[in-house]
Amino acid sequence: MPEAVERWSVGLLQHVLPRHLQIIFEINLRHLQEVAARYPGDWGRLRDLSIVEEDGEKR
């Protein structure tokens, strides 16, 4: 259900909920470390499975 997914810019989260953003980054880091361990060198998979979008402005 794509209509149920909200996307917030990192800048907005940093301004409104800075501690939450730190936690999101930590969760994302741990998640991506597990993905990288399971699929070494699969950068596309890492990009696709990241909680934080890295294309252009972070979201």
Given a cut of 90, whether residue 17 has pLDDT beyond it is: yes
Kind plus residue range of the DSSP H or E element containing 43: helix 43-49
Given a cut of 60, whether residue 56 has pLDDT beyond it is: no
- pLDDT 10s digits, 24-50: 999 999 999 999 999 999 999 999 999
Given a cut of 80, whether residue 51 has pLDDT beyond it is: yes
Q: What whole-number distance in Å separates Cα of residue 43 and Cα of residue 41?
A: 6
The answer to whether 42 and 25 have CB atoms below 8 angstroms apart is: no
Given a cut of 80, whether residue 22 has pLDDT beyond it is: yes
How many other CB atoms are there within 10 angstroms of residue 7's CB atom? 6
Q: pLDDT averaged over the chain?
A: 88
- Tell me, what's the pLDDT at 5? 77
What does the block give as tokens for 32? 């991506």
